[in-house]
Amino acid sequence: MQQHTVRTDSASAISRYFAKAHLPTQQETLGEIVTEILKDGRSLSRKSLCTKLLHRLENASGENEQKHYNALIGLLFE
């Protein structure tokens, strides 16, 4: 009976963790952007990635989203 309680607590803790994650991961965001660029028939380059990220940064709805895009832009110039 104790094991069932532990599993329930773990499951609810995991659910709470994922419920807090509103922003996609960096990999997911970059994957979306790469897909958009390729679907548009454009060539994939640092410039095209940066342009898309800057556009998303301009349209960001909150501070966390802005930080997310700024971090991705920073990765391009490391």
pLDDT, one tens digit per residue, over 21-70 is 567 889 999 999 999 999 999 999 999 999 999 999 999 999 999 999 99
Is it the case that residue 7 has pLDDT exceeding 70? no
Amino acid at 13: A
Domain ranges of the chain: 23-76
Backbone φ and ψ of 64, nearest 5°: -65, -40
Q: Which of 39, 76, 35 has its CA nearest to residue 54?
A: 76
CATH 1.20.5 applies to domain 23-76: yes
Residue 6: both structure tokens together: 């532990």
